[in-house]
Amino acid sequence: MEVNRSVQPINMNAPQPVNIVTAEFKADPFPFLAHLRVSEPVYRTTLPDKTVVWLLTRYDDVTALLRDERFTKNRRSALTKDQLRKLPWTPPMFRPLERNMLDLDPPDHTRLRSLVHKAFTPSLVEQMRSRTQAIADELLDRVVPTGEMDLISDFALPLPMTIITEILGVPAKDHDKFHRWSQAVVSLSSPSPTLRVLPGVWMFIRYLRQFFKLRRRDPRDDLVTALIKAEEAGDKLSEDELLAMVFLLLIAGHETTVNLIGNGTLALIENPNEMRKLQSEPSLVKPAIEELLRYTSPVLMTTERYARENAMIHGVTIPRGEMTLGVIGSANRDENVFDNPNELRISRDPNKHISFGQGIHFCLGAPLARMEAHIAFTTLLRRLPDLRLKNSAHSLRWRPSMFLRGLVALPVKF
Ligand code: HEM
């Protein structure tokens, strides 16, 4: 049944504007987002650095945004001369990272995506399946004797991190460094880099450039070598684009899946009937993963789009050059698309969630993430049938971030 919700006049008793990058907002954004869907589906707010940002919260509006020609990814192509002059200064060393495909439009996006797409085949994911199972088992072997663990640092993080580093071919022993550096990037509260993150990003870039030198001298059967070959084959991939690609894959390849495994485990523990159902019917794991993707939205917001022209949505004008985000976590709970959207139902069917985005930037790693989640949840539930929280759910802390929604730690016992 369609919920009638023509745009309402602004409700003076509405919740106070919130800072969308804070840990407090990430803990439970859903009531505020439900309010926006009804009353202010095109909502103007600001980031901590005062950048204006527009949030779209209805399912239809978020999916339309991801295909809307009036919006661009590359902000330099959307801004007026005046807006360009006012952009915060970007240190030159950051410039190459702007060449990552998630921040580009066609034709550059098409060229870069088709290069890497060849490597992210279903057969690569299949090849990694038994390795993922072995890592999941090794990680649990370490903690089972102790009867407790931090599910994030002991399991949910090292699993996807090890897999993406092995696919790329970067040394697994350097995990901790990569994670420290990438944390600095994903905890940014605005798309413009701040001084705080400069040292980490600088070290990350220097590390990768040295690693590329090594792989040029000593090629291997890995993704970095394949991308270097593409770069050397002609003008398909520049050195900066190679850097930006590996940087993006390393970050997107683990900072997201960790949240699916972490948030998903918490959601199952908090919904014991659904958890028992999954334990007694393991064949439900596929729809269960789709439901955990929908219910927990590990990527809460899309990355930014910029209006190329003044763009009117529901009678509200988003001015040229201003940043717009589609709130995936809100679209995934839109009552016009999902029955009882605030209930976790592991056998939900149909389930048209948009946790991997839509359109040309649809998540490249979705098959890999689904395979990793399949192994993570089946292994956890099989080996730790009595999984429960160690402390109260109120003590859990969430990570501040612009786009992601994930826990700092998830102490559990079993
Ligand atoms: C549960 C895990 C994951 C979630 C929820 C997720 C979500 C997303 C979303 C929502 C987008 C689109 C963003 C936008 O349009 O603004 C995206 C893009 C992307 N994701 Fe994922 N992702 C996950 C795992 C992965 C993994 C494992 C990889 C590893 C390679 C990956 C690589 C990428 C890349 C490269 C893009 C950019 C694609 C493009 O610009 O064409 N993601 N992801």
**Per-residue model confidence (pLDDT) at position 199:** 83
In angstroms, the CA 406 to CA 397 distance is: 9
In angstroms, the CA 151 to CA 136 distance is: 12
Count of domains for the chain: 1
Is the CB–ligand 1 distance for residue 101 below 6 Å? yes
42 pLDDT more than 90 = yes
pLDDT bucket at 86, cuts 50 / 70 / 90: confident
Atom of ligand 1 nearest to the CA of 305: 16
Is the CB–ligand 1 distance for residue 253 below 6 Å? yes
* Contacts with 33 (C-beta within 8 Å, 6 or more apart), sequence order: 57, 327, 329, 330, 333
Asked if 238 contacts 99 with a C-beta cutoff of 8 angstroms, the reply is yes
Asked if 192 contacts 51 with a C-beta cutoff of 8 angstroms, the reply is yes
**Per-residue model confidence (pLDDT) at position 16:** 61
Work out the average pLDDT over 286-308: 97
**Per-residue model confidence (pLDDT) at position 347:** 98
* pLDDT-above-90 percentage for the chain: 73
Ligand 1 centre distance from Cα of residue 346 (Å) = 23
399 pLDDT more than 80 = yes
User: Does some domain include residue 19?
Assistant: no
User: Does some domain include residue 15?
Assistant: no
- Select the more confidently predicted residue: 307 or 94: 307
Q: Is 171 helix (H, G, I), strand (E, B) or coil?
A: coil
pLDDT bucket at 89, cuts 50 / 70 / 90: confident
**Per-residue model confidence (pLDDT) at position 9:** 42
Selection from 164, 349, 136, 143 nearest residue 261 by Cα: 136
In angstroms, the CA 54 to CA 47 distance is: 10
**Per-residue model confidence (pLDDT) at position 268:** 98
What would you report as the CA-atom Rg of the chain, rounded to the nearest whole angstrom?
21
Is the CB–ligand 1 distance for residue 355 below 6 Å? yes
Spatial strand order in the sheet of 42-46: 42-46, 52-56, 323-326, 305-307, 71-72
**Per-residue model confidence (pLDDT) at position 28:** 94
**Per-residue model confidence (pLDDT) at position 93:** 79
In angstroms, the CA 177 to CA 208 distance is: 12
Helix/strand/coil (H, E, C) string of 247-302? HHHHHHCCCCHHHHHHHHHHHHHHCHHHHHHHHHCHHHHHHHHHHHHHHHCCECCC
User: Does some domain include residue 382?
Assistant: yes
**Per-residue model confidence (pLDDT) at position 15:** 52
218 pLDDT more than 50 = yes
**Per-residue model confidence (pLDDT) at position 374:** 98
pLDDT bucket at 7, cuts 50 / 70 / 90: very low
Ligand 1 centre distance from Cα of residue 1 (Å) = 32
344 pLDDT more than 90 = yes
* Probe residue for ligand 1, chosen from 162, 178, 246, 363 as the CB with the greatest number of ligand atoms within 8 Å: 363
Least confident of 105-119, 120-134, 144-158, 176-190: 176-190
Work out the average pLDDT over 375-400: 96
User: Does some domain include residue 9?
Assistant: no
In angstroms, the CA 195 to CA 192 distance is: 10
3 pLDDT more than 70 = no
Average pLDDT, the chain: 91
In angstroms, the CA 35 to CA 45 distance is: 15
* Alpha carbon nearest to ligand 1 atom 3, residue: 256
CATH number of the domain residue 313 falls in: 1.10.630.10
Work out the average pLDDT over 164-175: 89
User: Does some domain include residue 1?
Assistant: no
* Contacts with 12 (C-beta within 8 Å, 6 or more apart), sequence order: none
User: Does some domain include residue 13?
Assistant: no
The pTM (predicted TM-score) of the whole model is: 0.94
8 pLDDT more than 50 = no
Work out the average pLDDT over 302-308: 96
Residue 148 phi, psi dihedral angles, 5° rounding? -155, 160
Range of the domain at 193: 24-413
Is the CB–ligand 1 distance for residue 324 below 6 Å? no
In angstroms, the CA 199 to CA 190 distance is: 17
**Per-residue model confidence (pLDDT) at position 259:** 97
321 pLDDT more than 60 = yes
User: Does some domain include residue 16?
Assistant: no
Asked if 304 contacts 75 with a C-beta cutoff of 8 angstroms, the reply is yes
User: Does some domain include residue 28?
Assistant: yes
* Alpha carbon nearest to ligand 1 atom 42, residue: 365
In angstroms, the CA 180 to CA 149 distance is: 20
